[in-house]
Amino acid sequence: MRFLLLVLAGLALVPLSAVSAAPHGGDHPEARPFEQEADASALIEAALARAQLAEKRMIVVMGANWCHDSRGLAGWFAEPRFKVMLQDKYELVYVDVGYKDRNIDIAQRFGVNAIKGTPTVLVLSADGVLLNRKSAPKWRNAASRTEADIFAYFDQFSPEL
């Protein structure tokens, strides 16, 4: 697989195109993009800078590779149909939360006090404003959602009031 490694402010980032889904034998693909050793704060800062430059929104998927639903959502995001839509509209960052005990400061920075389930999905403006406060913690059933429902949510996203 060929992919481009982005370097911004001295930080090497793996773009969305480098995350690949593997067959899982169920109704959805799965991927394992959550890196325990990654500097989540640096990833967030770099993605916010790119979002501002490109005038895009940002998606922060706070999950873990042990979580079936986190892997399921990441798997859909790695599918070609999703990749095209996401690349046009969003900067995407995967943040490993361990067993809901790691990188919680990232969620708190954007107004989510605790990670109640994984994945917790933050949709942010290019300025870092949380746009989906009500639905952010409701992705812990991502592997049970249909491809069409997940695609429609992000493709037709509208900020929640």
pLDDT by residue (tens digit) across 114-129? 999 999 999 999 999 9
* Number of alpha carbons in the 13 Å side-chain half-sphere of residue 3: 13
Could you tell me the two tokens for 23? 């067959």
The pLDDT assigned to 49 comes to: 98
d(CA 75, CA 73): 5
pTM: 0.83
Domain boundaries, the chain: 56-161
Classify domain 56-161 by CATH number.
Answer: 3.40.30.10
Indicate whether 157 pLDDT > 80.
yes
The pLDDT assigned to 124 comes to: 98
The pLDDT assigned to 8 comes to: 34
Angle at 88 between CA 46 and CA 150, to 5 degrees: 100
Could you tell me the two tokens for 14? 């793996």
Concatenated DSSP letters for 19-68? ---B--SSSS-B-----TTS-HHHHHHHHHHHHHHHT-EEEEEEE-TT-H
State mean pLDDT over 141-147.
95
Q: Could you tell me which of 20, 126, 18, 113 has the C-alpha nearest to residue 62?
A: 113
d(CA 43, CA 71): 19
- Residues 19-60 pLDDT 10s: 544 544 556 688 899 999 999 999 999 999 999 999 999 999
